[in-house]
Structure 1
Amino acid sequence: MHPPDLLAALHARRVLAIVRGSDPDAALATVLALVSSGIDLVEVSLSGADALRVIERARAALGPTARLGAGTVLTADDARRAAEAGAAFTVTPGVTDAVAVSRALGLPVLAGVLTPTEVVAAVAEGATALKLFPAGPGGLELLRALRAPFPDVPFVPVGGVDAAAARRYLAAGAVAVGVGGPLVGRAADGDPCGLDERIAAFRSLSKETP
């Protein structure tokens, strides 16, 4: 995946699903369920159990064109291992060496930022889009404040974003939202109860169908 492809996917899909779980088999099943249901821009967090293997298995199941990335990429080594596992993009919680290494490996990056200084640094490192993290209770006001000096920067708020908050963020100019628990629930831990309903709630945010 090239940087313009990730940016186009964020614009079109509007939802980046974040899968993080304690059960690798359940995490894989969750990734496949999300993609088959139309939420096909997915990040597998490296903080989950055996996450690199989950990415490898998902890549094998979904094929080379799947929009599958690695999240919680903290270090240069994390970036290298994510690329080897088949990640098409990386997501970092901050502006670290992982951003530059990901770009050197040809992977687009969604880099985590919270301040104007971090925005400038992430853009300078070549980040494709910026993960506004942790968005938290004041995330909407923060997004509006940052978009004033950076109107052309694509922001993706992450952190406690439910379907109602997602609509508010998108209306305020976010290119997409990153969603973990409010979408995935405990499915990646082996309890898929309610997953189909939550997928339906977020699926309606997409600008296009698969």
Structure 2
Amino acid sequence: MPLPESTRRQGVIAVVRTRDVSQLSPLLEALCEAGLATIELTMTTPGVLNELAALIRRFDEACIGVGTLHAADDAERALDAGARFLVTPSAAPAVAEIARPRGGALLAGALTPTEIVRAWNDGASCVKVFPAQTVGPNYVRHIHGPYPDIPLVPSGGVGLEDIVPWITAGADAVSIGGPLIGGATEGDLTGLSARVRRALDLVVAARSS
């Protein structure tokens, strides 16, 4: 299954990690109010799968997925709760086997050309280039030379100032955590809406250049 249309259209995936699951609801509310369509909740937030269904029901206008997945049973629980997409930090064929028959989009992590092709052949909807900071935007151009049909989403060390270079290089979207979320995980929502708007505007500018 391809990436959700809203994700491809906006081109930004917000990666949300919190110390406690109770911090997620106000943060998701702020992101949705700012107009962000796609939010990745990570397994590093303790208890996230227990609260996932309730969060998805409350923020049904958002495209919510689960990331930092390693195990097939966690992937199954995420899909059972209504996750729209799954994200892995590295190759995870077992997760791909869960996602494929159930129609869940999968962003599979990879870095080298061999890993990227393997993730794509295993059934990824797109490949998460991770950690993207180690290779830089031109890497997308180099990969798309021999593999133009593999959608790529950089993740890891991507800041707001990196959005235009990555999108211009051919990335389908960018995955951003700390530089976008800022202090919002601790309740400081100051500037979050402005950062979201800036990120979305930068994608539009990059695609129109």
TM-score (norm 2): 0.89
Read off the aligned partner of 1:194 and give its amino acid letter: G
CA displacement, residues 45-89 of structure 1 (integer Å, 9 cap, x when unaligned): 1111321234222211123x6311111111101101111222111
CA contact (8 A) 1:136 1:160 kept: yes
Residue 127, structure 1, aligned to residue 87, structure 2: no
Residue in structure 2 matched with residue 88 of structure 1 by the alignment: 84
Q: Structure 2 regions of 5+ residues with no counterpart? A: 205-209
Residue 168, structure 1, aligned to residue 147, structure 2: no
For residues 151 and 99 of structure 1, the distance between their equivalents in structure 2, rounded to whole angstroms, comes to 22
Shift of 1:16: 0.7
Residue in structure 2 matched with residue 105 of structure 1 by the alignment: 102
Read off the aligned partner of 1:40 and give its amino acid letter: A
Shift of 1:18: 0.7
SS in 2 for 1:193: coil
CA contact (8 A) 2:38 2:63 kept: yes
Shift of 1:14: 0.7
Residue 118, structure 1, aligned to residue 111, structure 2: no
For residues 198 and 117 of structure 2, the distance between their equivalents in structure 1, rounded to whole angstroms, comes to 34
Read off the aligned partner of 2:98 and give its amino acid letter: V
For residues 32 and 118 of structure 2, the distance between their equivalents in structure 1, rounded to whole angstroms, comes to 32
Q: Is the alpha carbon distance of 1:78 and 1:70 closer, same or farther for their aligned partners in structure 2, counting shifts above 3 Å? A: same
CA displacement, residues 7-62 of structure 1 (integer Å, 9 cap, x when unaligned): 53332111011111113222221122112211111111111132123422221112
- Structure 1 stretches of 4+ with a deviation exceeding 3 A read none
Residue in structure 1 matched with residue 178 of structure 2 by the alignment: 181
User: What pairs up with 1:1-210 in 2 under 5 angstroms?
Assistant: 3-4=1-2, 6-63=3-60, 66-96=62-92, 97-207=94-204
For residues 192 and 152 of structure 1, the distance between their equivalents in structure 2, rounded to whole angstroms, comes to 38
Read off the aligned partner of 1:70 and give its amino acid letter: V
CA contact (8 A) 1:91 1:111 kept: yes
Q: Structure 1 regions of 5+ residues with no counterpart? A: none
For residues 81 and 68 of structure 1, the distance between their equivalents in structure 2, rounded to whole angstroms, comes to 14
SS in 2 for 1:204: helix
Instruction: Note the aligned Cα RMSD (angstroms).
Output: 1.8
Q: Is the alpha carbon distance of 1:165 and 1:206 closer, same or farther for their aligned partners in structure 2, counting shifts above 3 Å? A: closer
SS in 2 for 1:205: helix
Shift of 1:137: 4.2
Shift of 1:123: 1.4
SS in 2 for 1:136: helix
Deviates more, 1:24-33 or 1:75-84: 24-33
For residues 97 and 186 of structure 2, the distance between their equivalents in structure 1, rounded to whole angstroms, comes to 32
CA contact (8 A) 2:28 2:59 kept: no
SS in 1 for 2:35: coil
Q: Number of aligned pairs?
A: 203
Identity of aligned residues (%): 37
